[in-house]
């Protein structure tokens, strides 16, 4: 049943996603786009196409995302895609509005590194905020998840890197300047580091033990979102009551979602979370 509490939580999440889109758009408009830096993804493609088309970068981001969003609604989780749709629409609106009202930073000779650093930082903050609200930025995020669904042996990071490299290489062909590649690499690096620091902190993966009378329901939801789960047998030392303990290891990006699922199903669950420096096996690194 849809409760006021859930409605308020959804409003808060969507507000955070919109705020993240505003910060991301400012980085794209003020630092990245005017200095011909194509930092991978749909945003990089839009910046390149804007050189040839009389259309704003924001509108191009929307146009490129439309087929991916449609595919996402067909093949991926609907709730995540609704947040993605809001994020894409907000990025489009904020970027096009910024082009009308906010001047840009055009770096002088040898100063484009400043644009790459600050542009990557703003984009990283925006995406990090969006990810914290369990949203995505659309674009290659959607494409990566679709590819991963049909080719599970491919790692998410590898797919994302390959797509970004392809876009950066296209930027080299268009601008015919090796500096474009170097500045794009700097922007991508800064962006990824800031996303990590906002969403994940210094932690790599997390190992979670869940002690709950609703262990079956929690495990079922974990499996639905693609997490491996193991049942352990437990017994209360005082009550002598037997129970199932849910054990799971999750990637950093999935932790917020897992925590929310546990809270929704059993707010009284006793949960132990530890940092896992390295996790090996299916879905993680190879032994």
Which pair of tokens denotes residue 48? 């390149």
Asked if residue 286 is part of any domain, the answer here is: no
Same domain, 96 and 172: yes
Q: pLDDT 10s per residue in the chain (287 long)?
A: 567 888 888 899 899 999 999 999 999 999 999 998 988 889 999 999 998 899 999 999 999 999 999 998 998 878 888 989 999 999 999 999 999 999 999 887 678 899 999 999 999 999 889 888 877 778 887 887 788 777 766 665 567 778 888 888 888 888 888 888 899 999 998 988 888 777 655 446 788 899 988 989 998 988 888 778 888 888 777 777 888 898 988 876 678 888 889 988 998 888 888 877 556 666 555 55
Domain span at residue 59 reads 4-199
* d(C-alpha 62, C-alpha 89), whole Å: 7
Looking at the 3D structure of the chain, how many domains does it have?
Answer: 2
Asked if residue 281 is part of any domain, the answer here is: no
Same domain, 170 and 228: no
Which of 199, 230, 263 is the last residue before a domain boundary?
199
Same domain, 135 and 268: no
By DSSP bridging, strand 270-276 and strand 242-251 are unpaired
Cα 224 to Cα 142, 151, 249, 261, 282, distances in angstroms: 18, 18, 15, 11, 16
Q: Check residue 203 and give its pLDDT.
A: 47
Same domain, 159 and 63: yes
Same domain, 60 and 170: yes
Asked if residue 267 is part of any domain, the answer here is: yes
Same domain, 186 and 221: no
Asked if residue 119 is part of any domain, the answer here is: yes
Same domain, 174 and 254: no
Same domain, 33 and 11: yes
Same domain, 78 and 13: yes
Asked if residue 128 is part of any domain, the answer here is: yes
Same domain, 209 and 192: no
Q: Check residue 230 and give its pLDDT.
A: 86
What's the CATH code of the domain at 271? Answer: 3.30.70.120
* d(C-alpha 107, C-alpha 31), whole Å: 9
Which of 171, 199, 227 is the last residue before a domain boundary?
199
Which of 150, 184, 199 is the last residue before a domain boundary?
199
């Amino acid at each position: 049943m849809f409760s006021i509490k859930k409605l308020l939580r959804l409003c808060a999440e969507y507000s955070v996603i919109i705020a993240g889109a505003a910060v991301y758009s400012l980085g794209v408009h003020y630092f990245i786009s005017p200095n011909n830096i194509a930092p991978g993804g749909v945003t990089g493609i839009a910046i390149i196409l804007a050189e040839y088309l009389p259309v704003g970068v924001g509108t191009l981001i929307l146009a490129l995302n439309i087929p991916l969003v449609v595919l996402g609604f067909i093949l991926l989780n609907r709730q995540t895609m609704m947040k993605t749709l809001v994020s894409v629409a907000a990025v489009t609106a904020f970027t096009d509005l910024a082009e009308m009202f906010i001047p840009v930073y055009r770096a002088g000779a040898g100063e484009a590194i400043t644009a790459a650093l600050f542009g990557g930082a703003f984009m990283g903050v925006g995406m990090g905020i969006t990810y914290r609200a369990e949203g995505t930025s659309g674009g290659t995020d959607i494409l990566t998840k679709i590819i991963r669904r049909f080719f599970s042996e491919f790692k998410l990071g590898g797919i994302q890197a390959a797509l970004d490299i392809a876009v950066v290489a296209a930027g080299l062909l268009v601008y015919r300047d090796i500096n474009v590649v170097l500045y794009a690499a700097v922007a991508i690096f800064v962006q990824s580091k800031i996303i990590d620091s906002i969403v994940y902190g210094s932690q790599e993966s997390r190992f979670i033990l869940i002690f709950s009378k609703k262990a079956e329901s929690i495990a079922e939801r974990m499996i639905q979102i693609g997490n491996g789960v193991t049942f352990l047998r437990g017994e209360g030392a005082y009550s002598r009551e037997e129970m199932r303990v849910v054990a799971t290891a999750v990637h950093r990006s999935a932790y917020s979602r897992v925590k929310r699922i546990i809270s929704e199903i059993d707010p009284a669950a006793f949960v132990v979370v530890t940092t896992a420096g390295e996790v090996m096996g299916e879905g993680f690194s190879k032994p």
